[in-house]
Amino acid sequence: MTTGTEDVPKPRPLGPAAAFRAHWPEYLMEAAALGLFMVSAGVFTTWIDGVHSFLPAAHGWAGVRRAVIGVAMGGTATGLIYSPWGRRSGAQMNPAITLAFLRLGRIPPWDAAYYVLFQFLGGLAGVGLTAWALGAPFTQPPVHFVVTVPGPAGTGAAFAGEFIIGAVMMGMIAAVSNRVGWARYTGLLAGGLIFLFVTFESPYSGFGMNPARTVASAWPSGTWTAGWIYFIAPTAGMLLAAEAAVRLPRRTPIRCCKLHHRSDRPCIFCGQRVSRGF
């Protein structure tokens, strides 16, 4: 089965010990990126949607509150993707994205395993830090550790929502991040999609799209309601989008799994120290 990357040199796989010795800075950067994202999510959600919000609690304002949180979260993701650390690690920040790139052969197996592990650890650290700093306004309802649980429409709608947003996000990344002239906008488009997902999809699933993000909130809160959805649905959606991206006519080879590749930082995936074209 082809992946559309056969004409692109693949990264050199390393064993578990060698990979860790060579690439531990990138693993820590992935952990820090998702940790900071969770801190931002906790702080802004507590400020905007908590009991002391400056916006009215009336039902008619719910969409406005989601939109403001969406702007904050989309902006945070964009900033992390374009940050020096994000440009070096690739700012995947999501095990589902990492697994999709593993399927495409763009990240070696042990690097993928460490990326996933450190994404989980970083998310947990971010939520733990936020809980310590904010206390009850963050840990108690209505914020409640920013957990992801199905909305009133039920688990079917939550599964569909998570599957769709996962597929859309990975489809955009595969289509844009490796295309000359468009790659530089990947972070902006990712941030824009997060804004849309938080604003319009979160009432159905709580906007997970990221197994590590879900565990980061579920573990300390003890709330695992329909937790299987947030592992299976976004991962399946992203894997499907990755398959579709390499099977479409006139497909563009997936050259690297960084969301923002133009940098002067070393790249552990394609072996370049400075990007020259994508």
Angstrom distances, CA of residue 187 to CA of 80, 82, 183, 230:
9, 7, 9, 23
Distances, alpha carbon 260 to alpha carbons 165, 184, 206, 242, 245, in Å: 20, 6, 27, 18, 18
- Cα 198 versus chain centre, distance: 13
d(CA 40, CA 3): 36
Confidence of residue 183 (pLDDT cuts 50, 70, 90): confident
Q: Fill in the amino acid letter for 257.
A: C
Task: Name which of 217, 216, 219, 197 is nearest 207 in CA terms.
Answer: 197
Q: Crossing angle for the helix pair 186-196 and 62-82, nearest 10 degrees? A: 160
Peptide bond before 142: cis, by omega within 30 degrees of 0? Answer: yes
Distance CA 187, CA 204 (A): 25
When pLDDT is averaged across residues 167-196 and rounded to a whole number, the result is 91
Q: What is the pLDDT of residues 136-174, one digit of tens each?
A: 999 999 999 999 999 999 999 999 999 999 999 999 998
Percent of the chain whose pLDDT exceeds 70: 87
The tokens for 217 are: 């909130």
pLDDT value of residue 258: 86
* pLDDT of amino acid 58: 56
- Taken in order of first residue, the domains within the chain and their CATH numbers are 16-247 (1.20.1080.10)
Between the CA of residue 52 and those of 42, 57, 126, what are the distances in Å?
A: 14, 9, 22
Q: Residue 275 has what pLDDT?
A: 42
- What pLDDT is recorded for position 277? 40
Angle in degrees, 0-180, between the axes of helices 211-221 and 16-49, rounded to the nearest 10: 70
Residue 196 has pLDDT above 80, yes or no: yes
Residue 114 clears pLDDT 50, i.e. is over it = yes
Lowest mean pLDDT among 104-118, 222-236, 264-278: 264-278
pTM over 0.75: yes
